[in-house]
Amino acid sequence: MLHTLMHSPWQSDVTGRISLLGADDDVLLLQDGVLAALKGNPFAEMLLASPATIYVLEDDLQARGLAEQISPNMHKVGYNGFVELTIRHPQQLAW
């Protein structure tokens, strides 16, 4: 399943949603959800400790001036990568 986080992690139940993640799941951080990818952020550490693979939409990082401040273990993707994730996962859950 593809999980998308579009809101600031401080405005959503990220901790509760992380417990739903499995090894076959991917998480895409976009819009204000990219704030969860910042280095040293407790949400980034929780996401990276989950069994899912974590992706961050690069255009949203650039728009917020955060491209150089994210955890190196996050996978940056463009819009083509976003489309590939949605094709790979017919089931999706927005956070």
Read off the pLDDT of residues 27-81 as tens digits, 9 standing for 90 and up: 999 999 999 999 988 999 999 999 999 999 999 999 999 999 999 999 999 999 9
Using the 8-state DSSP alphabet, how is residue 25 labeled? -
User: pLDDT tens-digit profile of 9-26?
Assistant: 988 888 888 988 999 999
CATH among 3.90.550.10, 3.40.1260.10, 1.10.3190.10, 3.20.20.80 for 2-94: 3.40.1260.10
Distance CA 54, CA 39 (A): 14
> Per this entry, what is the length of the chain?
95
The structural domains of the chain, with segments of one domain joined by +, span: 2-94
